[in-house]
Amino acid sequence: MTTTAIGRGAAAALENHAESDPISRPSAGHKRVWRGRLLRVSTIVVALLVWQLLAGANVVAWLHFDTIPAPTEVASSWWQRLHTAQYYQDLGQSLLRIGVGFGLATAIGIPVGIALGRSTVAADTLGTLTELARPIPAIALVPIAILVFPSDEAGIIFITFVAAFFPIVVSTRHAVRALPTIWEDSVRTMGGTRRDVVLRVILPGITPGVFSGLSVGIGVAWICLISAEMISGHLGVGYRTWQSYTVVDYPGVVVGMFTIAALGVLTSGAIELIGRRVTRWLPRGEETR
């Protein structure tokens, strides 16, 4: 057999292996992604159809679907609200509150979590207070916030801050404690300073855990923000949803619920997207890219 024949045979074998290997075919991962997206959309459509059928037929089978507005009524009410300035004013007010409260929780919670994970003194002092306050639901602090803060607006932002603060602190602390000590020892052995340890070991190493806490924190913050707006707010999605309930506008109530869900999905999705961009060095499956 000549050298040319051997080369052709090897090339053919490599080509056949590439065609038979699903990992080497980039289209396989894209197909899985699109199948997953199609399944999600189909699930939502089926759920809406079932809801429409039950509400339209006024079904009463333990659950009273005869009192629930159908999706068509909700869509009509939502469309009307989209053409009012009040709807966007409520959206802006809620987003402003969540932005300030969550931003403060992030700016304070991450350094506190790092301190609790690395300092015994901080863990024994600040950590003790954190563990005592953490089990208290943030929404239970509404009466205290009303008494302490000079305005309802400041109190609502405080409730939002507290709701996001503890998930961020706890996840950051756990991420710091989970770091292998050999990483820090290696940097110090090569003459690295404490600043080098923080910038080259701690911050990159805890980033995945921190973003997990941010994702949880934004969800909890939305829950407590909406509850606080219902109790003591004057504007916002939560306040408007409660107002719709008091005037027996049930389609408006569902519009408020769906608006809250959309805001939560968008904000948590934005955090997860930023997290994936920041932690691009992590190994991931093709479907999550």
Q: Which CATH number belongs to the domain containing residue 124 in this structure?
A: 1.10.3720.10
Q: Do 241 and 284 lie in a common domain?
A: yes
From 43, 63, 83, the end of a domain falls on: 63
282 in any annotated domain: yes
Q: Do 93 and 150 lie in a common domain?
A: yes
pLDDT of residue 25: 52
**What contacts 110, CB < 8 A, 6 or more positions away?**
168, 172, 210
From 63, 86, 121, the end of a domain falls on: 63
Q: Do 89 and 114 lie in a common domain?
A: yes
Mean pLDDT split into 10-residue runs, the chain, 289 residues = 47 48 57 86 92 87 85 93 93 94 96 92 91 89 86 90 95 91 81 79 88 94 92 86 91 94 93 89 58
47, 251, 246, 102: CA torsion to nearest 10: 60
6 in any annotated domain: no
Tokens of 10: 């090897």
Cβ-count burial of 11 within 10 angstroms (0-12 exposed, 13-18 middle, 19+ buried)? exposed
Pick from 37, 41, 73: nearest CA to 251: 73
pLDDT of residue 26: 52
CB atoms within 10 A of CB 7: 10
Report which DSSP code applies to 26. Answer: H
Q: Do 205 and 251 lie in a common domain?
A: yes
Q: Do 45 and 159 lie in a common domain?
A: no
Q: Do 75 and 216 lie in a common domain?
A: yes
- CA gap 74, 57 in Å, rounded: 16
4 in any annotated domain: no
Beta bridge partners of 60: 64
Q: What share of the chain is helix, strand, coil (3-state, %, to 5)?
A: 85, 0, 15
Q: Do 18 and 136 lie in a common domain?
A: no
- CA gap 51, 34 in Å, rounded: 26
- CA gap 158, 98 in Å, rounded: 10
1 in any annotated domain: no
Q: Do 111 and 245 lie in a common domain?
A: yes
pLDDT of residue 66: 82
**What contacts 76, CB < 8 A, 6 or more positions away?**
251
Q: Do 133 and 166 lie in a common domain?
A: yes
- CA gap 165, 103 in Å, rounded: 10
94 in any annotated domain: yes
8 in any annotated domain: no
Strands (E), the chain: 60-61, 63-64
Q: Do 28 and 120 lie in a common domain?
A: no
Domain that holds residue 41: 14-63
Number of domains in the chain: 2
7 in any annotated domain: no
Q: Do 39 and 79 lie in a common domain?
A: no
Residue pair 90/146 in contact (Cβ under 8 Å)? The answer is: no
2 in any annotated domain: no
pLDDT of residue 3: 44
pLDDT of residue 191: 78
Tokens of 79: 């469309």
From 24, 48, 63, the end of a domain falls on: 63
Q: Do 23 and 148 lie in a common domain?
A: no
